[in-house]
């Protein structure tokens, strides 16, 4: 799926996106910025490398970081949910991982945790996964960014089809 199709999907479904990026370093927002009229569906982008920035800007709890580590689906999920706490965004995509070239805290290069949070009324639904990518740092960042964005339509449709609990 092309990025223009993702932007069209966001517009058609009244989705306003915020990104919360550690390992992708703002590349999701940059990729979207290449699509004309993207401002109609992108709310904000956070680049949050440090533990302190994740806590301060996205309300990621110290307990989550301590229990699961900075590179975990749990932290990615907390980042995505945190990106929806302020402002009108009703969709967030978050990434945290190791882009290389060396492992970090025992996590192999190319490991990226991605989470997608969808707000429906006062409920937030979060989906997540860990992907293992190959290539150098730039390739891992680009692939993770593109993947995170192009999964939005499929995951949004999945969330829409599932009853709220």
Whether residue 33 is predicted with pLDDT greater than 60 in this model: the reply is yes
Give the pLDDT confidence of 104-161 residue by residue, as tens digits.
Answer: 999 999 999 999 999 988 899 999 999 999 999 999 999 999 999 999 999 999 999 8
Examine residue 164 and state whether it is found in any structural domain, yes or no.
Answer: no
Examine residue 165 and state whether it is found in any structural domain, yes or no.
Answer: no
Examine residue 92 and state whether it is found in any structural domain, yes or no.
Answer: yes
Examine residue 64 and state whether it is found in any structural domain, yes or no.
Answer: yes
**Domain count of the fold of the chain:** 1
Examine residue 37 and state whether it is found in any structural domain, yes or no.
Answer: yes
pTM for the whole structure: 0.96
Rg (CA), the chain: 15
Q: Which residues contact 20 (CB under 8 A, 6 or more apart)?
A: 45, 46, 48, 58, 79, 80, 82, 83, 92, 93, 94, 95
Angstrom distances, CA of residue 100 to CA of 23, 34, 121, 158:
10, 26, 39, 32
Domain harbouring 99, CATH code: 3.90.950.20
Confidence band, pLDDT 50/70/90 cuts, at residue 10: very high
pLDDT number for residue 162:
81
């Amino acid at each position: 799926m092309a990025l223009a199709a993702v932007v069209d999907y966001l517009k058609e479904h009244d989705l306003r996106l915020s990104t919360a990026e550690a390992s992708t370093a703002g590349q999701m927002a940059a990729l979207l910025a290449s699509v004309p009229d993207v401002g109609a569906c992108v709310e904000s982008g956070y680049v949050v490398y440090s533990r302190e920035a994740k806590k301060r800007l996205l309300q990621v709890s110290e307990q989550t970081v301590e229990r699961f580590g900075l590179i975990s689906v749990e932290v990615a999920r907390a980042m995505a949910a945190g990106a929806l706490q302020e402002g009108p965004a009703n969709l967030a995509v978050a990434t945290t991982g190791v882009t290389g070239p060396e492992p970090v805290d025992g996590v192999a290069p190319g490991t990226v945790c991605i989470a997608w949070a969808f707000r429906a009324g006062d409920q937030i639904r979060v989906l997540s996964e860990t992907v293992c990518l190959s290539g150098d740092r730039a390739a891992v960042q680009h692939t993770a960014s593109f993947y995170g964005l192009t999964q939005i339509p499929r995951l949004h449709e999945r969330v829409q089809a599932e009853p709220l609990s």
